Chain A
């Protein structure tokens, strides 16, 4: 079986699972979740960097999928629809955390206690020469919309069109936010390198 044949087969079985789930079959929905949970989790985890929160989001997303299966339109790709739900839920969470951060300050927010990037100080990151963690850490200080676009594009590798679709934004808005986000991250790294030289 060639790769395209395998993909076609996968689409057919996914479509069949959706049809059965729409008819109210829980075993079919379980299989549908089993086939999609990794994608959903990957999107949620890369946006939230928190295992427990990502699990909660995936669960909430599948519950929403189940409740709205009747409204699902076949002309849209199921995975895109699922990503849209996951991204929306994550975005709400990010916005909430950003608001909490603003109100209580960085020290008041313990929601990322398991997050390596947050628990390490910038100087630790420099000493460990861990620029990746620093970029992640800085990206979390971006405004929620910029953070969402930055993560989806630069970490998840979504195309601009895909981001526009799942995040419900125009292509122009995606590009603008991406541009601002990358500029902020670059400036933050420059500041870090300057302080390192001093």
Chain B
């Protein structure tokens, strides 16, 4: 049975040129004594006999087949296309780079825009968070420095003393600012101020100065 197992794969390679002379000899000797393998071999030969007419029956391409004409037509068409492209080599050479360059520029600009927007949005979010946080309060002098107001100039203003008293009574300038302009309350000088924040402060500061002028006037 073990020999059968070894021989069986050789049985399926029964046609000429598929086995070496030595292998053929092995198969011949084995099939002479083994009826099972002999049956397989005979079966395979009978299948081969059945296939034989197929082998001899060569399919013929019909005379009216359009294969050749269709192929020639396709090739001619493709060649014309290629020739057409060859005539436009100058245009290709001169402007061939425009499309990729434009595509690249548009792509790069889009990416930059997206990155910039993301950065801006992140900055605004951080600022908003900081503005909404009620943490460390600014001392009056810091607030004035941020608003680019000289505290000594304030003291020496024409109605300075009255105004200074007013602020002192209200526990300092920042208390007033925090009450009047809540957006300023979260910003501390320690955290540093970027350009965006400075712009906000200056806008708020301008409004504050207007009110300050009004207070000054009322004080007088």
Give the residue of A33, A58, A135, A186 whose beta carbon is less than 8 angstroms from that of B51: A135
Rounded to whole angstroms, the CA-CA distance of A34 and B61 in the bound complex is 11
Rounded to whole angstroms, the CA-CA distance of A29 and B75 in the bound complex is 10
Count A-side interface residues using an 8 Å CB cutoff. 38
B61 touches A63 (CB 8 A): no
With A38-B60, A186-B40 as contacts: A63 and B74 at CB distance below 8 Å: yes
A30 touches B13 (CB 8 A): no
A26 touches B13 (CB 8 A): no
Count B-side interface residues using an 8 Å CB cutoff. 30
A41 touches B47 (CB 8 A): no
A156 touches B75 (CB 8 A): no
Residue of B nearest to A179 (CB): B12
A63 touches B60 (CB 8 A): no
Rounded to whole angstroms, the CA-CA distance of A154 and B75 in the bound complex is 35
B54 within 8 A of A: yes
Rounded to whole angstroms, the CA-CA distance of A37 and B67 in the bound complex is 8
* Minimum-distance CB pairs A-B, first 8: A41-B61, A45-B59, A179-B12, A182-B12, A62-B71, A131-B50, A33-B68, A157-B55
Give B residues with C-beta under 8 Å from A.
9, 12-13, 15, 17-18, 40, 43-44, 47-48, 50-51, 53-55, 58-61, 65-68, 70-72, 74-76
Contacts A66-B75, A135-B51, A175-B13 known; list 4 others, CB within 8 Å: A33-B68, A33-B71, A55-B67, A178-B18
Give A residues with C-beta under 8 Å from B.
26, 29-30, 33-34, 37-38, 41-42, 45-46, 54-55, 58-59, 62-63, 66, 131-132, 135-136, 153-157, 159-160, 175, 178-179, 182-183, 185-186, 189-190
- 11 A-B pairs (CB sep. < 8 Å): A29-B72, A33-B67, A41-B65, A58-B67, A59-B74, A135-B50, A175-B13, A175-B18, A178-B12, A186-B12, A186-B47
